[in-house]
């Protein structure tokens, strides 16, 4: 018995890898990016991936496109908006998989498609039946993607502008808080 214990202990000590060691992950690596690596700002409000494989990041200093190596920034200068601050992302309201939208703090809707970003001034006017007022002084809108209105409008909520149906049961919901 003593000999068996000695052989077992020797085998465990001389094994090339510890038998009870923590297994490493499946080859993932972690990289930390900052403004020193090309990110427009160190705080990221939101992020989304597009069909072309880019990662898009919403920051207070612009919309950043990341290809896995480099950042390209779309800001007030090249988007021709009054602010660089990007608030949120939403899928295309028509369900097109080749584009998504970003919302800037000054209520500009930025179409993201094929690796580029441009302001789309016609996006929400087409869905609002004339209720949309572009460039209001105090923009307090956000994209919300979620469930449909199960009450079919029978429960009116005064601060909602409209609910846009998307594909696959999702909806683009744009809301504005209104002062009474």
**Cα–Cα distance for residue pair 98/53, rounded to 1 Å:** 11
In a domain, 180, yes or no: no
Distant-in-sequence, close-in-space partners of 158: CB < 8 Å, separation ≥ 6: 178
Residue 6 above 50 pLDDT? yes
Residue 144 above 80 pLDDT? no
Residue 140 above 60 pLDDT? no
Return the H-helix or E-strand segment holding 10.
helix 2-14
Helix (H, G, I), strand (E, B) or coil at 171: strand
Residue 103: per-residue pLDDT: 87
Instruction: Give the position of tokens 């097109």.
Output: 96
Residue 7: per-residue pLDDT: 74
**Cα–Cα distance for residue pair 95/152, rounded to 1 Å:** 21
Residue 146 above 60 pLDDT? no
In a domain, 100, yes or no: yes
Dihedral sign from CA coordinates of 49, 55, 60, 62 = negative
Percent of the chain with pLDDT strictly greater than 70? 56
Q: Over the chain, what is the mean pLDDT?
A: 73
In a domain, 8, yes or no: no
Domain containing 158 equals: 37-175
**Cα–Cα distance for residue pair 92/176, rounded to 1 Å:** 20
Domains held by the chain: number: 1
Distant-in-sequence, close-in-space partners of 57: CB < 8 Å, separation ≥ 6: 39, 44, 46, 47, 63, 64, 66
Q: Specify the higher pLDDT residue, 88 or 113.
A: 113
In a domain, 19, yes or no: no
Quick one: tokens of 99? Answer: 């584009």
């Amino acid at each position: 018995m003593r000999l068996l214990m000695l052989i077992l202990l020797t085998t465990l000590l001389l094994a090339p890898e510890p038998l009870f060691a923590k297994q490493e992950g499946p080859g993932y690596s972690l990289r930390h990016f900052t403004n020193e690596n090309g990110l427009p700002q160190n705080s990221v409000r939101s992020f989304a991936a597009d069909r072309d494989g880019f990662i898009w990041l919403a920051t207070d200093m612009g919309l950043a496109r990341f290809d896995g190596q480099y950042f390209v920034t779309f800001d007030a200068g090249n988007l021709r908006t009054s602010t660089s601050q990007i608030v949120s992302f939403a899928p295309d309201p028509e369900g097109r998989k080749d584009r998504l939208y970003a919302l800037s703090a000054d209520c500009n809707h930025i179409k993201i498609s094929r690796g580029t970003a441009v302001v789309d001034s016609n996006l929400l006017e087409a869905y609002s039946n004339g209720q949309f007022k572009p460039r209001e002084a105090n923009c307090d809108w956000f994209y919300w993607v979620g469930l449909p209105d199960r009450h079919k409008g029978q429960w009116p909520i005064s601060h909602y502008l409209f609910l846009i149906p998307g594909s696959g049961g999702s909806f683009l919901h744009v809301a504005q808080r209104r002062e009474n």
